Structure 1
Amino acid sequence: MSTSSRSCFVVLVLVCVYVAYLVIGALVFSALEKPLEEKVQAELNLLKQQLISNMSCINISTLEQLLETLLNANKYGVSLGQNTSENSNWDLASALFFSNTLVTTIGYGHTTPLSDVGKAFSIVYALFGVPFTMLVLTACVRRLMVPLNLRPVEFWRRRFGWHPQTARTIHFVMLLLVIVVFFFLLPATIFSLIEDSWSFLEAFYFCFISLCTIGLGDFVPGENPNQKLRPLYKISVMIYLFLGLMAMYFVLRSFHKLADVRGWTAFFHLPTCDDEGEEEKDNIIEEPNECETDTKPLDPGARASYNSISR
């Protein structure tokens, strides 16, 4: 089988596995969530009928209009019991938090623009903000690759004489443990203490959903009306999300390096991780290669000449 045919076959297998994975996930979610959805819908219908039967003076059309208005308002992050004088979805801290979730593509959906102008501005803002965010993350991660990735691997190779595959694998495992502790376990513990209604599992779930940029929006920090220091809390979460995304991107870059060393990228016919640049390469001191020093061309003046041979 030629290289081109093998590459097409591997890609086809990956696509088939991915489609099967999506179908299985859809079936599982449907089996788990659809009965609960039907149960909640039945309870809502029952409450509506009880309200109508007990209070016959209420107009049905008025009640339905009220319910529809409440649902639409809740979609935009506005609730009936919200006190706009104390908590607002568009104060400075909340607006910063919304902007951060917009350009990082997390998008919880708990707060959305109400006006047409706001919607149009969101399109333009995200159009430039999303690639700019990626540019910033990429620039930061590239500069962290040398001190946190290349140098430790090179140090362990020289200090312990490890094979490049062994050194990079151990480095990636250690890096993964550090990321899990400082960006998942520790923040989840803090969130579970600050958010009264969140368990540790729910806080860990929020961290994972957020840093993977899934952003389901079922758990959003700082939405409790009685939240203390809400502006500072929102800004702190915003900083955590940005640093967390940077850490996740750093993990992906490190995994790509590991895949290059292990030969996985070549096996799947994927592009290798791009070089870190001449500036970064200069920061890593490499030992001289004996083969290179021995194979340097001799000085022309030092070469033997046949004319000097006495006949």
Structure 2
Amino acid sequence: MSASSRSCAVVLLLVCVYVVYLLIGALVFWALEKPREEKVRAELNLLKHQLLSNMSCIDLSTLEHLLETLMKANKYGVSLVKNNSENSNWDLASALFFSNTLVTTIGYGHTTPLSDEGKAFSIVYGVIGVPFTMLVLTACVQRLMVPLNLRPVTSWRRRFGWHPRTASTMHFVLLLLLVIVMFFVVPAVVFSIIEDSWSFLEAFYFCFISLCTIGLGDFVPGEQDNQKLRPLYKISVMVYLFLGLIAMYFVLRSFHKLADVHGWTAFFHLPSCDDEGEIRNEDASEGPNECETDTKPLEPSAGVSYNSISK
């Protein structure tokens, strides 16, 4: 197996382990949070029935207790108005979605752990998951830099005779436009169709807030009543967020490369992008180096003698 194939296999293994890690987190959150959510849901329904049965003489303390319970439940993502048995914040798909937003640092905040055990596990899970996520994203982007950045720029320079700055700038502009269309415009159209209450601007805003890992939580997909195929929808959004984060990180790496070519990193005394070493290593793994071929030790029979020197 060549070095390039071995490197791709390692990245694929990392992604697989990452998916397994998300599944483990989802199962733990599901087991910890689902019973607590059902208990809060039962308390809300009980208070609601008590209020309706005593409509003519509502007790002030009961009403205050109801409001206090409603506010506390709303903090954990449980609503009395829109609450139903089909929409759970801690089913397997929702727990997987929460695990993904936790380790990617997006953190919408619409759903938070109810139990102390869940809060404690979030700390441990995040301590391991956040750097692991960064490692997976870095490994994926590192493998994409050569075929999607360095080779196109080198090809354009050879074919059109462009200056390195011109080729790098053109590549970055095209890359930025492609990412905006594929990960912002198209998903925004899809979200505005699926989410009835979202306009295109709101959907575009959600994509931007999410892929920049800001995660304000004012717009969260899959929270409508009776959402069709909600588990599949949640998992699809999770895959979109992961691929979108790779694209955003790739744009940042490409901008770093562009800054190197234009001398901006040197001007600001920042570390330069070392992608040239990557392509040299890959080329070296694909075939023998010309310099190594030329500097092979001479055979004994090919030794130079004084008689061979032209006089």
User: Is TM > 0.5 for Structure 1 vs Structure 2?
Assistant: yes
Deviation at 1:225, TM superposition (A): 1.3
Deviations 1:25-56 (A, max 9, x none): xxxxxxxxxxxxxxxxxxxxxxxxxxxxxx99
Per the alignment, residue 173 of structure 1 pairs with 173
Deviation at 1:202, TM superposition (A): 0.1
Indicate yes or no: 2:143 matched with 1:143.
yes
C-alpha spacing 1:308/1:182, structure 2 compared with 1 (3 Å): closer
Per the alignment, residue 34 of structure 1 pairs with none
State the alpha-carbon separation in 2 of the partners of residues 62 and 97 from structure 1. 36
Q: Are the counterparts in 2 of residues 211 and 244 from structure 1 also a CA contact under 8 Å?
A: yes
Deviation at 1:227, TM superposition (A): 1.1
Per the alignment, residue 274 of structure 2 pairs with 274
State the alpha-carbon separation in 2 of the partners of residues 238 and 117 from structure 1. 24
State the alpha-carbon separation in 1 of the partners of residues 263 and 67 from structure 2. 58
Deviations 1:200-225 (A, max 9, x none): 00000000000000000000000001
State the alpha-carbon separation in 1 of the partners of residues 284 and 265 from structure 2. 26
Per the alignment, residue 14 of structure 1 pairs with none
Q: Are the counterparts in 1 of residues 259 and 265 from structure 2 also a CA contact under 8 Å?
A: yes
Per the alignment, residue 244 of structure 2 pairs with 244
Q: Are the counterparts in 2 of residues 151 and 284 from structure 1 also a CA contact under 8 Å?
A: no
Letter in 2 for 1:123: I
Indicate yes or no: 2:196 matched with 1:189.
no
TM-score scaled by structure 1? 0.73
C-alpha spacing 1:157/1:283, structure 2 compared with 1 (3 Å): farther
Instruction: Report the RMSD for the aligned CA atoms in angstroms.
Output: 3.1
State the alpha-carbon separation in 1 of the partners of residues 203 and 149 from structure 2. 29
Q: Are the counterparts in 2 of residues 221 and 234 from structure 1 also a CA contact under 8 Å?
A: yes
Indicate yes or no: 2:232 matched with 1:232.
yes
Letter in 2 for 1:113: P
C-alpha spacing 1:266/1:113, structure 2 compared with 1 (3 Å): same
Partner of 2:101: helix, strand, or coil?
helix
Letter in 2 for 1:211: L
Partner of 1:113: helix, strand, or coil?
coil
Partner of 2:231: helix, strand, or coil?
helix
Identity percentage over the alignment?
Answer: 78
Q: Are the counterparts in 1 of residues 87 and 226 from structure 2 also a CA contact under 8 Å?
A: no
C-alpha spacing 1:127/1:211, structure 2 compared with 1 (3 Å): same
Equivalent residues in 2 for 1:1-311 (5 A)? 57-275=57-275, 276-277=277-278, 278-282=280-284
Q: Are the counterparts in 1 of residues 70 and 80 from structure 2 also a CA contact under 8 Å?
A: yes
Q: Are the counterparts in 2 of residues 76 and 112 from structure 1 also a CA contact under 8 Å?
A: yes
Per the alignment, residue 24 of structure 2 pairs with none
State the alpha-carbon separation in 1 of the partners of residues 111 and 285 from structure 2. 46
C-alpha spacing 1:73/1:99, structure 2 compared with 1 (3 Å): same
Point out where structure 2 has 5 or more consecutive residues left out of the alignment. Answer: 1-54
Point out where structure 1 has 5 or more consecutive residues left out of the alignment. Answer: 1-54
Judge which range, 202-211 or 68-77, deviates more. 68-77
Deviation at 1:262, TM superposition (A): 0.3
TM-score scaled by structure 2? 0.73
